[in-house]
Amino acid sequence: DTAVSQTPKYLVTQMGNDKSIKCEQNLGHDTMYWYKQDSKKFLKIMFSYNNKELIINETVPNRFSPKSPDKAHLNLHINSLELGDSAVYFCASSQDRRGGADNEQFFGPGTRLTVL
């Protein structure tokens, strides 16, 4: 069984559309994340949720809205897609231990978003 799964793996869409990426983890972790990896391979955190509560919200346009229906799922909805949103988006999860220390993260396979 895949520990952290994302769907879809590839997403090609037109500018201005709204799209969602889904993430599920079966590790029983408390915390989930969304990262964006740009063409230069920089990996930047976007959001972090702990037990369905938003913990980290980096300077991400409000066109991006994470939704966590339960602690095993963290979906990413993007409104009014722009060319600059093209990137690979990774979901990850970790177990909170000792207040955040030893927070090894497990990553999903990524979703390659291409905005035309």
Closest to 10 in 3D by CA, of 116, 111, 115: 111
CA distance 33 to 71: 11
Query: Could you tell me which residues are beta bridge partners of residue 85?
Result: none
Binding mask 31-70 for other proteins (x = CB under 8 A): x-x-x----xxxxxx--x-x----xx--------------
For other proteins, the closer of residues 57 and 65 by Cβ is 57
- Smallest separation, CB 65 to other proteins (Å): 20
For other proteins, the closer of residues 51 and 80 by Cβ is 51
Asked if 23 interacts with other proteins (CB under 8 A), we say no
Give the list of residues 6+ apart from residue 78 with CB closer than 8 angstroms, or none: 18, 19, 20, 21, 63, 64, 65, 85, 113
Task: Return residues touching other proteins (CB under 8 A).
Answer: 4, 31, 33, 35, 40-45, 48, 50, 55-56, 90, 92, 94, 96, 99-110
